[in-house]
Chain A
Amino acid sequence: EAQVTQNPRYLITVTGKKLTVTCSQNMNHEYMSWYRQDPGLGLRQIYYSMNVEVTDKGDVPEGYKVSRKEKRNFPLILESPSPNQTSLYFCASTYRLNSPLHFGNGTRLTVT
């Protein structure tokens, strides 16, 4: 089954404790991206990647890192999480930029 898999679905952590949210797709998509969703703000792009070893900042990259060492994986790294990074996070991928995105099921992150 074609899908984007995010893990974990829920995560509660404390300020400053490094964490990684994993994202994997099995559709051989070149384009992958991360979004955060906050009430009243919609979805905002954090980082995106056009291909292996090619990443670029989205609209809200501060406090996040990504890597694209393999085509299928695009992990989101929070080196030192802060409470303002409490949010719902989505990973997404697509084959071509004019094609719809395939979304993961989201990760609800709470930073206390």
Chain B
Amino acid sequence: AQTVTQSQPEMSVQEAETVTLSCTYDTSESDYYLFWYKQPPSRQMILVIRQEAYKQQNATENRFSVNFQKAAKSFSLKISDSQLGDAAMYFCAYRSSPQGGSEKLVFGKGTKLTVNP
């Protein structure tokens, strides 16, 4: 079964600085999808960024980018120019491809990010 590990329960960053949240996963599949979700205090789950495993290019969404290392099974999230509104719980998630494997979406345990003014 696939597992997702977020080794940093909590992280903090100064406003305008850059922070990287780590995520590793375990799978025997070659095709899959990876996601980062953000959960602010409102507890709403918001998609931050997604990555298809077959794409070598790292995904980028404005100030958010990933460092996807397929061989190392690593999927870290980099937040540049951190803003107070980035303070939230961040979840890394794994999903198998539609062609095979489980239909489950497996989440990590989350990293709580604090942004200091």
Contact = CB atoms under 8 A, between A and B. Distances in A.
A106 B43 contact: yes
Which residue of B52, B98, B104 has the most chain A CB atoms within 10 A of its CB atom?
B104
Interface residues of A, number: 25
A48 B109 contact: no
Interface in B98-117: 98, 103-110
Which residue of B33, B35, B43, B98 has the most chain A CB atoms within 10 A of its CB atom?
B43
A88 B107 CA distance: 15
B45 interface: yes
Given A42-B91, A43-B91, A100 B47 contact: yes
B45 to A, nearest CB: 4
Contacts of B6: 42
B109 A98 contact: no
B43 A100 contact: no
Interface in B70-117: 91, 95-98, 103-110
A57 to B, nearest CB: 10
Contacts of A90: 45
Nearest to A57: B104
Contacts of B33: 98
A50 B43 contact: no
B44 interface: yes
A98 to B, nearest CB: 5
Contacts of A103: 44-45
A41 B109 contact: yes
A56 interface: yes
Given A42-B108, A105-B44, A106-B45, 13 more contacts: A35-B107, A42-B6, A42-B107, A42-B110, A43-B107, A45-B105, A45-B106, A56-B103, A58-B104, A88-B43, A90-B45, A97-B96, A98-B98
Interface of B: 6, 9, 33, 35, 43-45, 47, 50, 52, 91, 95-98, 103-110
